[in-house]
Every structure is written in structure tokens, then in C-alpha cells.
Structure 1
Amino acid sequence: MNLSLELLRRCSVAVDLGAARTRVYLKDGGLIVDQPTVAAVNTRTGSLIAVGSLAEQMTGRTPQHIRVVRPVSGGTVVDIDIAQRMLRFFVGDKVCRAWRRKPLLRAAICVSHDADPLARRAAAETLGGLGARRVELVDTLIAAAVGCGLPVERPEATMIVVCGATTTHIAVLSLGSIVAAEKVQVGGEIIDRAVVEYARIRHELLLPGQSGHPLHDALKDTDPTLGGAEVHGRDVSTGLAKSVRVDTADVRAIVCSPLAGVLDALRAVLRRCPPDLVADLLDRGIMVAGGSARLTGFDDLLSEGTGMPTQIAERPDLCAVEGLGAMLDGRVRPLRLDPLAR
């Protein structure tokens, strides 16, 4: 970790390019971009119509010649050109031109721990479009752990679960490196689809496709004494507007069902860890981060399934980019040996 920290301190900008949201951190400037990773493209001319929040609002509401695309899927850049144009719009042409005048501009970007060479190259080329001459690739798990305030540089076990839009990453860290890690294809979008399917089958209700967490968000602020939450959509048979009250317990069961795969992956990670590290985790527990960390019942499921305390980060959606920013600003110190102990 010492070498990576030295290289990261030379970077001027850090990017967390996620499937759901894009965040850009400027050294000594803080977080300057936090927008949905969405772009609207005119298929006739190829021009970019909108990006970010405005493009996300267009989902399901566009004519045939306008297409709403997501250039990132599963943590991998699948459309480099759209991703570059989207980032250039987010940070502004003036910032890009200022960066290009620097002969050795360095940038950092988060990548998955199991990313193949093609995915790593796509991430580097995306930042190259902003004028970066050198791109440092940082593991998302390590960046998120640093952003959560975990002592990843110490010879002690820390466990991080990053639940994103399409995937969930689980790892045990020690001495700034990954000891064991797993990835499972379960995330916020999978949960959303399960909830939408529940509403269609149980209540014959079609929910709006552009809503992020259609019933999950509605249940957060629901009074338990009411017995459920009221949601709005379109009737399957008549096509007319319809409102129904859904049962809280049913929706919680629907949400927790796909998350069972995360629990299985977490147990697999623990089985591959040395006993000393597992013993450390009994006291420290599990830290949960990522944009989907606050899914209903997620922390309770992990705590009951492992017998370890589970804690959700204070700002789970910003952990990765905040961790990158801490490395850029030099707020993370490498482990140094005490010369008197020799």
C-alpha cells in the first residue's frame, strides 16, 4: 500500500464511475460531481442531449429517436465514447482544458478487484479522454474501506461489503491488501425488479420503471401501525391509474430473498480467511457501504446470518470516492515500523 499511496498523492482528480452514479473528487477541492451515470443520445445525429439527473428523468418518456443509455454496467465501462463525453460535460470544458495544459496530469479511478485487463483498460481510456496522461487504478473495496474510516493499513482484519446497483463485493482486508474476496450479482436493481414483479403479480399493478427503489423508499418512512404503504401505478388489465396499499412484511420478505446470495458469499469469504483474522472480526464486525447499503433488512440479515455485528457507513454511497479523496489529499498514512522495536 505504501507505493500506491505515493502514486495517488500525485493525482489531481479521482473518479468513482459506478453503474448508478458518477462521482468526481478534485484534489484540495472536494467532491465536485455527484450525478446519475445516464446519458440521453439523439440516434439520428449522435449528439448528446442530456446527462445526469435530466437524462434519468427522460427514462421511459422519450420519442423513438432519443435513446437513454447507461455507459457503465456492473462496474465496467461498456461505452467509452459516451462515458468520456458524459464526464467532460460533468466537469466542464474549462476544467478539461486546464488539465490538458499540465504535462503530467494524473488521475485515479475505482475498479473492481476482479476486473479483467479489458475492463481496466476501458477505465484508463475513459479518464484519458479528460486529458489524464497517467491513470492509477484503485480497488473499489480498499477505497470504500478507507472512506468508511476502517484501519485498512493495520495488521488487523476489517470486513467490507459494498452493495452497488448491479453487484455486491465482499472482502476481508489486512495490511492494505485483500485477503479474500467474493463478488455476487445482486444489487439494488435486482431488488427493484423483484419488488416490481411482486407488485405486478400480487396487486396487478405496474410500477413506474424510472423510480429507483419503488416500494423500498416508500416503506422507509411508513408508520408500522398503518400496516403498509400506499403506492401508485398503472392497472395491468384496464391500463388506468391505480393506487394500492402493500403489506410491509411481504415487501420485506421480497427484498431479503435475493440478498440470501450475499450471505452465502460472505460465508465463503470467511471460510477462506485465517482463524486469527476471523477472530478479529468478532469484535469489529462488518461494515456495509455502497449505494444500496440501506436496503430494508440488509444489515439485520448479515448480522443474524454471521453472528457478527453489522454497521452501515454514515454516508455509504460516498465511501469509495471519499476514500479516494483521502488518499489524494494525503490523509491516509502508511504503516511505519518503530525503529526501537528492531
Structure 2
Amino acid sequence: MTVSLERLRRCHFAVDVGAARTRVYVKGAGLVVDQPSVAAVNTRTGALIAVGELAQQMTGRTPGYITVVRPIHGGTIVDIEMAQRMLRHLIGDKTRRSLRRRARLRAAACTPHAADPLAQRATIETLVGLGARRVELVDTLIAAAVGCGLPVDRPEATMIMVCGAAATQVAVLSLGSVVTAERIPVGGEAVEHAIMQHLRHQHALLLPSQAVRPLQLALSGNGTAPHGPASTEIQGRDVVTGLARSVRVDTAAMRDAIQTPLTAVMDGIGKVLRECPPDLVADLPERGIVMVGGSARMPGLDQMLRRATGVPVYIAERPDVCAIEGLGAMLEGRIEPMLLGPLAT
């Protein structure tokens, strides 16, 4: 980790390109971009019409010649050219001009744990296309742990759970490295899909994409816990008639519908704990699990984890920006590693 930190201190900006949101941290300026990873394109001319929040508002509301695209899928850049165009517009001309003044522009980027070489190459090529001469890749688990203030460089167990839109990453960290980790291809989008499928099959209702997250919050103040309102009213489009219709949905049935994706997350946590050395597992009842990522705010998810594992579960203060803030702390030199050098003989 010491060598990595030395290289990261030479970087000028950092990027966290996620399936849901893209964030950019500029050294000395802080977090300058925090926008949805969405772009709207005119298919007739190929022109980029909108990016970020405005493009997300266009989802499902565009004419036939405008397409809303997501160049990042599953935490991996799948369209390098579109990702570069999106990042250029999100960063803005003023910031890009200041970055281009650097003699040897260096960038850092978060990558999912155990990302394959093609995914890493796509991230590097995207940032090289923005002018970076060198790109340093940092494991999202390490960056997120640093961003929420966990002592990852100590010889103690630190368990972190990165709840993303497309995947959930769980790991036990010690001495600045990942001891055991598991990447589960289930995230906030899988929960949304389970909700939409339940409404379609049980109530013949199509739900607008923009209404899924409010529906999650409507599951109650305790969300996946069996407390809260017995039912909630949902508006959507009738599958048969195509007309607008509202139905009253049983929240208990809704909780049952999302159990399948959440069960996969529980299985991943169990696998990490089984593969972790016993001495580190013994630290967890005191230190607990820290949840970060945009989906960490899903109502009741922390309580469900607490009941399933029997250890304390905490949600970071700003869970959605922990990874990029951790990268920023490394760029600014605010992280001092514990040096492990050879003993004198």
C-alpha cells in the first residue's frame, strides 16, 4: 500500500465511474462532479444532447430519434467513446483546461474488486482519452474504507460492504489489503427489478422507472423489517388497457418479492466470513460491518444484516461518496500508512 500511496500522491484527479453515478475529484479543488452516469444522444446526428441529471430526467420521455444510454454497466465501462464524451461534458471546459496545463497529467480511478483485465483496460483507455499520461487503479473496497475513516492499515479486521447499483462487494480488510472478498452481482437495480416484476405479475401494472426508488422508501420507515404501513398506493400503467391506474399494494408481499436478491447478498457475506481467518472474524463482533454505496440507504437493509449476522451494522455518514472521498484523501496525502520495513539484525 505504501508504493501505491506514493504514486497516488502524484495524481492530479480521480474518477469513480459507477453504474448509477459518476464522480470526479480534482486535487486541490475537491469533489467537482457528482452526476448520474447517463447520456442522451441524437441518433440522427450522433450529437450529445444532455448528460447527468438532465439526461436522467429524459429517461422514458424522449422521441424516437433521442436515445438515453448508460456507458457503464455492472461497474464496468462498456462504451469507451461514450464514457469519454460524457466525462468531458461533466467535468466542463474550465476544469479540463486547468488539468491540461499539467506537464504529465496523472489520474486515479476506482475499479471493482477482482475486475478482469478487459474492464481495467477500458477504464485506463477512457482516462487516457481525457489526456491522462498515467492511470493508477485502486480497489473500490480500499478506497471506500479509507473514505469512511476505517483504519485499514492496522492489523485488525475491518469489514466493509459496498452496496452499488449493479453489484454488492463485501470484504474483510487488514494491513491495507483485502484478506477475503466476494463480489455479488446483485445491487439496487436488482431490487428495483424485483419490485417491478412483482407489480407486473401480481397487479398487471407497469411502473415508471422514475418511481421505483420512491416505492422502496414507501416500504416503510423500517423498510424490509415487518414494521410500517400495511399497504401503500402505487400509480402506474395498466398492462392490458395501457391507461393510467393506481393500485393498493400489500407491503408484506413487496418485502417477500425482494427477499430473493437480498438472500444472495446474505450468502455472499456468509462466504466471506467462512473464508476469513478466525482471528480476524473474532474482531468483527466489536467492530461490526460498515455499509457504503448509494444502495446502503435502502430502508431496513442494515437491520436485516444485523439479524442475519449477529454483528453490529453501521451506515457511513455519506455512504454514496466514500469511494471518491477515499481516493481524494490519497491524492491529497492525508493518509499515512503503517510502514512495515525489515527488522535490523
**Range into which the TM-score falls when normalised by the shorter chain:** over 0.9
* Cα distance change, pair 311–108 in 1 and its aligned pair in 2 (3 A): same
Matched, 1:313 2:320: no
Q: Which residue of 2 aligns with 1:47?
A: 47
Is 2:311 the counterpart of 1:294? no
Aligned residue identity for 1:269: V
Q: Residues 45 and 180 of structure 1: is their aligned pair in 2 closer, same or farther, counting only changes over 3 Å?
A: same
Q: Give the Å deviation of 1:75.
A: 1.0
Matched residues in 2 for 1:94 and 1:258: separation? 43
Question: 5+ residue gaps in structure 2?
Answer: none
Q: Secondary structure at the match of 1:246?
A: strand
Q: Answer yes or no: is the 8 Å Cα contact 1:256–1:297 preserved in 2.
A: no
Whether the 8 Å contact between 2:220 and 2:228 is mirrored in structure 1 is no
1:103–1:133 Cα contact (<8 Å) kept: no
Judging changes above 3 Å, is the alpha-carbon distance between structure 1 residues 136 and 339 closer, same or farther for their aligned structure 2 residues? closer
Distance 1:341 1:213 in 2: 58
| SS of residue in 1 equivalent to 2:22 | strand
Report deviation, 1:309.
1.1
SS of 1:239's equivalent?
Answer: coil
Match of 1:34, SS state, is strand
Task: Report how many aligned residue pairs link the two structures.
Answer: 342
- Whether 1:234 and 2:204 are equivalent positions in the alignment is no
2:283 pairs with 1:283: no
Unaligned runs of 5+ in 1: none
C-alpha contact 1:285 1:308 (8 A) present in aligned 2? yes
Aligned to 2:327: 324
The percentage of counterpart residues that share the same residue type is: 64
**Structure 1 residues 341, 160: CA separation in 2 closer, same or farther (over 3 Å shift)?**
farther
- TM-score, structure 1 as length reference: 0.94
In the alignment, is residue 334 of structure 1 matched against residue 342 of structure 2? no
Structure-2 residue corresponding to 1:139: 139
Q: Is the 8 A contact 1:170 1:266 kept in 2?
A: yes
Equivalent residue for 2:306, pick from 303, 306, 310: 303
Superposed CA RMSD in Å reads: 2.1
The residue identity in structure 2 corresponding to 1:172 is V
Report how far residue 93 of structure 1 moved: 2.1
- Per the alignment, in what secondary structure is the counterpart of residue 35 of structure 2? strand
Alignment of 1:97-176 (within 5 A): 97-176=97-176
Structure 1 residues 204-213 or 128-137, which shifts more?
A: 204-213
Residue 326 of structure 1: how far off its partner (Å): 1.2
Separation (CA, whole Å) in 1 of partners of 2:343 and 2:75: 45
Give the secondary-structure state (helix, strand or coil) at the position aligned to 1:258: helix
Q: Which residue of 2 aligns with 1:94?
A: 94
Q: CA deviation at 1:269?
A: 0.8
Task: Report the TM-score when normalising by structure 2.
Answer: 0.94
